[in-house]
Amino acid sequence: MIDKRVTSCAAAVADIKDGDTVMIGGFGEAGSPIELIHALIDHGAKNLTVVNNNTGSGRVGLAALIENGQVAKMICSYPRTANSLVFPELYRSGKIELELVPQGTLAERIRAGGAGVPAFYTKTSVGTPLAEGKEQRNFDGEDYVMERGLKADFALIKAKQADRYGNLTFNKTARNFAPIMAMAANKTLVQSNEMVELGDIEPENVVTPGIFVNSIVEVQSPQQESKLVKEGVVYP
Amino acid sequence: MNNVAHENEQIGWSREEMAQRCAQDIEDGSYVNLGIGIPEKVAQYVPEGREVIYHTENGLLGMGNAPTDEELDPDLINAGKKPVTAVPGASYFHHGDSFAMIRGNHIDVCVLGAMQVSEKGDLANWSTGAPDAIPAVGGAMDLVAGVKTIYIITQHTTKTGAAKILPECSFPLTGRGVVNRIYSDLCVIDVTVSGLKLIELAPSVSFDYVQERTDVVLTNASNMSV
């Protein structure tokens, strides 16, 4: 029998090890799996490389994971936002490494990683500082930069609905990086607002097929990052 | 040049008028991505009778207006992380597909802001290169590399009156030779193979007035007298 459900966020993240690469879904707070991130803080794995579009907000979720000293390196496209309290200071004092990647290149690197493609060429960043040191090639009269596919040990993502096979749907723009991160990670851990029976999600409407998912925990009423930030909540 | 204060002097177009002028050039049926800031205002001014579909790179085609309190959903935001709505006929997709739309030349027009633009159409709009700055690029490099037409809306000079339209950008580039047209508070300029061509002046702005505030020799292709 295939049953990917686990009973708690703590159980879902239990196998994450020091030094692992962890992709975390979300674009700002939309799609951020905040309960899984908090479980990873409780778990304590250190020296992580984290892949996310941003670096979190306030002192909860991803920002709290960084503040807790668990992240050695961020791979992201936009490491500052209106409520970035944690990352800028650590970066300026040299306590965290940053690999800055254009957002579309980041997305394609993740998709390539998940599809077994080790590298690809893109026009994005040609002639800019972000192309420095990368192989370049001309195709049909245009310059391209080679970018590497990106894989991870774990992905932490948030879904709207999940069944026990791991088939997923998402809510609106909270989908963002989740489906491609699910493909690029060795183990994909999902927090889902709702667990449903097999067949409840029409096969035509499955966004992420269960083959890309390893563990699912139901979190019925997830916390809202912006609300926590507004209230000045600090995790843990 | 140091005393240029457009807003005080009421010379040239306001931010709204720049957005309005740009909107005239967005054709019916276009798929359009609008950058953060003044470019966002373009959506308010697309002439009636034209149907335009707005793309936001975080996974929505068919972005609508800001939501009412009842409509507000923190899972429905734009690339600037502000709450938005989805119009009837909208679609959601993941980041890989969203940037395939951009990189794959499927988006017709992108409107962005600028720190500097060169006479060859190089754009700098993500970093001043200051050593203590936190570098952040977002989707700007992908947009300029992949979208068919790149429009820039920008004040013609910096707040201190320095030229933003230059022979070469001194700030790190977002893309090389990517800009098609510039809408400033003073004029509209096309980037062409034979250099920068001024095609329209804002009311009561002269060609010489613009040229004095531009570090590149402009061709006057407007109908206005010098």
State pLDDT tens for residues B109-121.
999 999 999 999 9
Tell me which residues of chain A, numbers 78 to 137, contact chain B at a CB-CB cutoff of 8 Å.
78-82, 84, 87-88, 91-92, 98, 100-108, 110-111, 122-130
**Are the CB atoms for A43 and A15 separated by under 8 Å?**
no
Q: What percent of chain A has pLDDT over 90?
A: 97
- Partner residue facing A176 (CB), from B59, B145, B146: B59
Q: How far is A112 from chain B (nearest CA, A)?
A: 9
- Give the minimum alpha-carbon distance from A27 to chain B in angstroms, rounded to a whole number: 7
- CB atoms closer than 10 angstroms to residue B60: 27
Does pLDDT of B3 surpass 60?
no
Compute CA A3 distance to the chain's CA centroid, rounded to the nearest angstrom: 23
Contact A180 B102 (CB under 8 A): no
User: Nearest to residue B215, comparing CAs of B162, B169, B163?
Assistant: B163
**Using the beta-carbon criterion (under 8 Å), do B99 and A107 form an inter-chain contact?**
yes
Calculate mean pLDDT across residues B93-116. Answer: 98
Tell me whether residues B137 and A100 touch, CB distance under 8 A: yes
**Side chain identity at A186, as an amino acid letter?**
N
Residue in B with minimal Cα distance to A75: B136
* Mutation to test the A interface, candidates B110, B126, B141, B144, most A Cβ within 10 Å: B141
Hey, what are A64's tokens?
């709290």
> How far B34 CA lies from chain A's nearest CA (Å)?
16
CA B69 to chain centre: 29
d(CA A6, CA B206): 70
Distances A111 to A72, A150, B224 between C-alpha atoms, Å: 23, 8, 52
* B58-76 pLDDT per residue, tens: 999 999 999 999 999 999 9
Please, what are the domains in chain B?
6-220 (3.40.1080.10)
The H or E element spanning position A38 is: helix A34-43
User: Which among B168, B218, B211 is positioned nearest to B191, based on CA atoms?
Assistant: B218
Domain ranges of chain A: 16-118+150-225
Q: Which residue of A has its CA nearest to B140?
A: A102
Tens digits of residue pLDDT in A98-138: 999 999 999 999 999 999 999 999 999 999 999 999 999 99
Q: Measured between beta carbons, which residues in chain B are less than 8 angstroms from residue A124?
A: 103, 141-142, 145-146
Pairing of strands A71-76, A168-169: unpaired
Q: For residue A31, what is the nearest residue in chain B, using CA coordinates?
A: B75
For the cut 50, the answer to whether the pLDDT of residue B2 exceeds it is: no
At residue B5, the pLDDT reads 47
Residue type, B109: V
ipTM score: 0.97
Which architecture does CATH list for A16-118+150-225? 3-Layer(aba) Sandwich (3.40)
**Cβ-nearest to A107 among B60, B95, B136:** B95
The catalytic site residues of B sit at: 57
**The token pair that represents A34 in the structure block:** 């905040």
Amino acid identity for residue A231 in this structure: E
The rounded mean pLDDT for chain B is 93
Q: Calculate how close chain A gets to B93, using CA atoms only, in Å.
A: 7
Give tens-digit pLDDT for A129-143.
999 999 999 999 999
- Interatomic CA distance for residues B126 and B136, integer angstroms: 7
Tell me whether residues B94 and A176 touch, CB distance under 8 A.
Answer: yes
Residues in A closer than 8 angstroms to B174, CB to CB, are 128
